[in-house]
Amino acid sequence: MSNSSNKEVLLSLKGVDISFAKDGKKFRAVKNANFDIYRGETFSLVGESGSGKTTIGRAIMRINPLSAGEIIFKGKRISGKISKEEDMDVIRSIQMIFQDPAASLNERATIEYCVSEGLYNFHLYKDEEDRIAKVDAALESVGLLPEHKSRYPHEFSGGQRQRVGIARAMIMEPELIVADEPISALDVSIRAQVLNLMNKFKEEKGLTYLFIAHDLSVVRFISDRIAVIHLGRIVEIAETEDLFKYPLHPYTISLLSAVPMPDPIIEKQKDLVVYDESKRDLSGPKPILQEIRPGHFVFANDREMAEYEVKLQQMEKERAELDK
Amino acid sequence: MSERKIILSAKDIEVKFRVRDNYLTAIRNVSLDLYDGETFAIVGESGSGKSVFTKTFTGMLESNGEISNGSIMFEGKDLTKLVTDKDWEGIRGKKISTIFQDPMTSLNPIRTIGSQITEVIIKHQGVSAEEAKAQAVEIMEKVGIKNAANRFDEYPFQYSGGMRQRIVIAIALSCHPEILICDEPTTALDVTIQAQILQLIKELQRDLKFTTVYITHDLGVVANVADRVGVMYGGQIIEYGTAEEIFFDPQHPYTWALLSSLPQLGEKGQDLYYITGTPPSLYNKILGDAFAPRNKYALKIDFVEEPPFFKVSDTHYAKTWLLDPRAPKVEKPEVINNLHEKIEKMTSKGGAFYVEQQQ
Ligand SMILES: Nc1ncnc2c1ncn2[C@@H]1O[C@H](COP(=O)(O)OP(=O)(O)OP(=O)(O)O)[C@@H](O)[C@H]1O
Ligand SMILES: Nc1ncnc2c1ncn2[C@@H]1O[C@H](COP(=O)(O)OP(=O)(O)OP(=O)(O)O)[C@@H](O)[C@H]1O
Ligand SMILES: [Mg+2]
Ligand SMILES: [Mg+2]
C-alpha cells in the first residue's frame, strides 16, 4: 500500500513559505511546507484554527502568493508568474469547495446560474442546449433535480446548498478539488451525505481531493493520507492507518485525544492531552520533516528522531502482539 | 431522581411564528423538568427547535414569535407571563444566562474586554467600579486567560476565537446564574479548543454549582458533558433519558439514525449512514409521528396518530409506537448495537482512537 513509486504525483508543494504583514511585521503563516498529492487520492490537512490550512488551499488556487518555494501541478510550476493559457487551465482544473455553503453562492442568482457560472466564464459549452445538458448532469450527480434550477440558494437546506457548491465545482470537470472544511457547518446527518458524495466522485471519476478539516474522526473516514499542521508547520504526514496506529508527534496525539467519542462512559473518564510546545524539550539542532518509515514523515531533529524510533519500534512490537 | 429538586419546569410549550400571512409551529407541546445542578443536553438536526425552545426560558423569541400555549415555572413564577424587560429583570442574563455559538455576535468589537465584563457585574451586583474590576480579573483567570490583568484593556480582535468564547463564558458567569444555557458554544471552534472549553464549563459548574442546558448536534459533545439528554425532532422532544440510556439503549428510530450517521462509526470504503428525505414542514399540521416519512421502521399507525411517550425506565421515555406492546419487535441498526463495546475497542490499545497517556 505504501509503495508510492508507481503513483502519479498530481500536485506538489516544495519548500512553500507564505507570509503576511501583521502590525508592520512579517508573519509566517506557512513555514517550509513540503508534500505531494497523488492522483486519485484524498489527502487531508488537519490542524487547529489559524494553523494555515486555508492559506495553503488558497495558495494552490493561486490566490495567496508564495514568499518562497513553488507549487507544481502535473509537472508544471503554477505558482508565481505563468502564462495566461496556463492560468486558465489551472483555474479550470483545480476547483474549491468552501466551508460555508451560503456564503459561496450568489444569493440573488438562480441555481442554474450558480452552477453555470464557470461554463460562462470559460465558454465551456457549444450552445445553450449543451450548457443545459451539462447543468442537468451536474445537478443529477449530486442528487438534485432539473426542476431545482429555477430556485434560489436560500430556498435550499444547508446540505442541499453544499451539494449545489459541489455541482458548481464538478461541472468544470476538475482534476483536483480543494475542499476547505466543506462539512463543518453542517448537521451530522447531512455531513454523512456530503462525505459519501465526495467518495462517490473519487471512485467514479478518479477525482483527487485536498480535504481541509480540524476533526480527525471525519478525516479518518475520508482520507488516504493525512498531514498534520501546527502553527504553519507540517509536523507529521502518514497514510491514514499509519497515522492512527503510530501517531508520533505530540501534537498529533493531542488532536487524537480531542476527538469526541459517542460514548458517555468513555468520554467522561477521558483525559485531554493538551499540546504545549513551551513544555517540550526543543534542544538540539533545528528539526526538519524526516521520513521515519516509508511514507511516514515526522518533524524532528536527530535527537527526537532517535526517540520516535524507539517509540515506534515499541508500538510496532505491541501491534504485532495484538495481531497474533 | 424523583427526590432531586426541580429548578425549572416547562409544560406543554407551543411556540408559533408569524411569517407573512402564515403561521408556523416551531415547538409542539414540549414538556421538560430541569433538575438542580444537572447538565441536560438537547440534540437534534438543524431546525428541530432546540434554540427556539430554550429561548422561551429567557423571553428571547423574535418579535414575530409567541408562546401560544403552556407554562414555564421557575422560582414560583410562570415565565410565559413575563412580557416587558422590566418583568424579566433579575432573571434574564442574571439567574438564567445564555452563551451563543458565535462569540463575536455577543461581544462589542469596539469596547475593551474588561469594560464588557465589569458592565455586567455592576449592573447585576451594584458594586463599585473597582470591586467590579477585581471580580472581572478573577473570573477571566478562572476561564483560563493568562495575564488577565494585563489583557483587561484589550479589544476582542486581539483575542483568538477560543479566547473570545472564554470571555463570553466569563460574562455569562459573572452574574452567578442558576441556569446556564449553552447554545452550540463550541461549533465554531476547532476540536482542541472545543475540548478545553467543555472541560472549563464542567469545572466551573463543579465550583459554582449551576444547572447547564447544552444545545448541540454533535453527539460526541453530548457524551462528554451530559447527565441527561433530550432528542428533538420536528419541534418536539421525542426521547429523553440519562446519557447512558440514550447512547446505549436508544428507542426512537430518529435517535438510532442520529447515532448511526456518526463518522466515528464509519468504515472506510463504505458509505456512511445518512437520513434521507427532508425535515417536516412546520407550516402544516403534522399527522402522526413527524419522523415517519423518513423512517424505514415506520408502522402504519405512525402516519395517522401521534405516539404518546412510552416509559422505558424511571428516567427514560420515548415517543414511538415501536414501544407499544402490539408493535412488531424491531432491532436497532447493527452499527449502533453494542456501542459501548465498539467504542471501548476503538479507544483501547490497538484501536483507531487509542491515545497513549503521557508519562
Ligand atoms: N490575508 C491575510 N492577512 C493577514 N493574515 C492572514 C491572512 N490570511 C490568513 N492570515 C493569518 O494566517 C494564519 C493562518 O490562517 P488560516 O486561515 O490559513 O488558518 P486555518 O488553519 O485555515 O484556520 P481555521 O481552521 O480557523 O480556518 C492565521 O494567523 C491568520 O490570521
Ligand atoms: N423568528 C422566526 N421566524 C420564523 N421562523 C423561525 C424563527 N425562528 C426560528 N424559526 C423556525 O423555527 C424552527 C426551529 O428553529 P431553531 O432555531 O429552534 O432550530 P435549531 O434546532 O436551533 O437549529 P440549528 O441547529 O440550525 O440552530 C425552524 O424551522 C426555524 O426556521
Ligand atoms: Mg481555514
Ligand atoms: Mg439553534
Per-domain residue ranges of chain A: 4-261+289-323
Number of domains in chain B: 2
Q: Is the CB of A153 under 6 A from ligand 1?
A: no
Helix H or strand E encompassing A302: helix A302-323
Q: Considering only the beta carbons, identify the residue of A261, A270, A322 that sits closest to B350.
A: A322
Whether B302 is covered by a domain: the verdict is yes
Compute and round to an integer the Cα radius of gyration of chain B. 22
A291 beta partners: A297
Domain final residue pick, B126, B154, B176: B176
Question: Is the predicted pLDDT of residue A191 greater than 60, yes or no?
Answer: yes
Question: What is chain B's mean pLDDT, rounded?
Answer: 90
Residues B341 and B249 occupy one common structural domain: yes
Q: Above pLDDT 90, what percent of chain B?
A: 60
Q: Is the CB of B43 under 6 A from ligand 2?
A: no
B229 beta partners: B41, B241
User: Chain A residues with CB inside 8 Å of B344's CB?
Assistant: 263, 266
Q: Is the CB of B310 under 6 A from ligand 2?
A: no
One-letter amino acid for residue A239 of the chain: E
Q: In whole angstroms, what is the distance from residue B297 CA to residue B303 CA?
A: 12
Per-residue pLDDT averaged across A265-270, rounded?
Answer: 88
Fold of the CATH domain A4-261+289-323: Rossmann fold (3.40.50)
SS3 of residue A195 by DSSP: helix
Nearest CA-CA partner of A240 in A50, A72, A41, A86: A41
ipTM comes to 0.86
Sequence-distant (6+) residues with CB within 8 A of A198 are: A42, A166, A179, A182, A209, A211, A222
Residues B253 and B168 occupy one common structural domain: no
Burial class, B91, CB count within 10 angstroms (exposed 0-12 / middle 13-18 / buried 19+): buried
Q: Which of A97-101, A313-317, B196-200 has the lowest mean pLDDT?
A: A97-101
Per-residue pLDDT averaged across B162-188, rounded?
Answer: 83
Nearest CA-CA partner of B7 in B76, B99, B97, B92: B76
Domain final residue pick, B176, B192, B216: B176
Q: What letter does residue B308 receive in the DSSP assignment? A: -
User: Chain B residues with CB inside 8 Å of A182's CB?
Assistant: none
Q: Which of A82-86, A93-97, A157-161, B182-186 has the lowest mean pLDDT?
A: A157-161
Q: Considering only the beta carbons, identify the residue of A189, A215, A267 that sits closest to B275.
A: A189
For residue A247, the chain B residue with the least C-alpha distance is B355
Q: In whole angstroms, what is the distance from residue B302 CA to residue B243 CA?
A: 26
Question: With b meaning 16 or more CB within 10 Å and e meaning fewer, what string describes B166-182?
Answer: bbbbbbbbbbebbbbbb
Q: Which three cell numbers stand for residue B24?
A: 408556523
Whether B329 is covered by a domain: the verdict is yes
Q: What is the pLDDT of residues B235-263, one digit of tens each?
A: 999 999 999 999 999 999 999 999 998 88
Residues B252 and B331 occupy one common structural domain: yes
Residues B254 and B332 occupy one common structural domain: yes
Instruction: Flag whether residue B157 sits within 8 Å of chain A, measured between CB atoms.
Output: no
What pLDDT is recorded for position B104?
A: 65
Range of the domain at B170: 103-176
Q: To probe the interface with B, which of A220, A259, A321 has the most B CB atoms within 10 Å? A: A259
Q: Which three cell numbers stand for residue A282?
A: 526543543
Quick count: other Cβ atoms within 10 Å of Cβ A204? 9
Mutate to test the pocket of ligand 2, among B13, B42, B50 (most ligand atoms within 8 A of CB): B50
Per-residue pLDDT averaged across A273-297, rounded?
Answer: 87
Residue nearest to atom 16 of ligand 2 (CA): B49
Point out the ligand 1 atom lying closest to the alpha carbon of residue A55: 18
Point out the ligand 2 atom lying closest to the alpha carbon of residue B53: 18
Domain final residue pick, B136, B158, B176: B176
What pLDDT is recorded for position B10?
A: 98
Sequence-distant (6+) residues with CB within 8 A of B19 are: B64
Q: Is the CB of A53 under 6 A from ligand 1?
A: yes
Residue nearest to atom 19 of ligand 1 (CA): A50
Helices (H) and strands (E) in chain A, counts: 11, 12
Answer yes or no: pTM beyond 0.80. Answer: yes
Query: How many A/B residue pairs have CB atoms within 8 Å?
Result: 160
**B103 confidence band (pLDDT: 50, 70, 90):** low
Residues B341 and B255 occupy one common structural domain: yes
- Would you list the DSSP string of B89-145? TTTBTTTEEEE-S-HHHHS-TTS-HHHHHHHHHHHHH---HHHHHHHHHHHHHHTT-
Nearest CA-CA partner of A206 in A236, A185, A177, A168: A177
Helices (H) and strands (E) in chain B, counts: 12, 12
Question: What is chain A's mean pLDDT, rounded?
Answer: 89
Q: In whole angstroms, what is the distance from residue A271 CA to residue A260 CA?
A: 11
The strand order across the sheet containing A76-77 reads A25-38, A9-22, A68-73, A76-77
Sequence-distant (6+) residues with CB within 8 A of A83 are: none
Mark yes or no for CB contact A263/B339 under 8 Å: yes
CA A227 to chain centre: 9
Q: Is the CB of A122 under 6 A from ligand 1?
A: no
Q: What is the pLDDT of residues B320-349, one digit of tens each?
A: 999 999 999 999 999 999 999 999 999 988
Distance B333 CA to ligand 3 centre (A): 35
Q: Which three cell numbers stand for residue A195?
A: 462525505
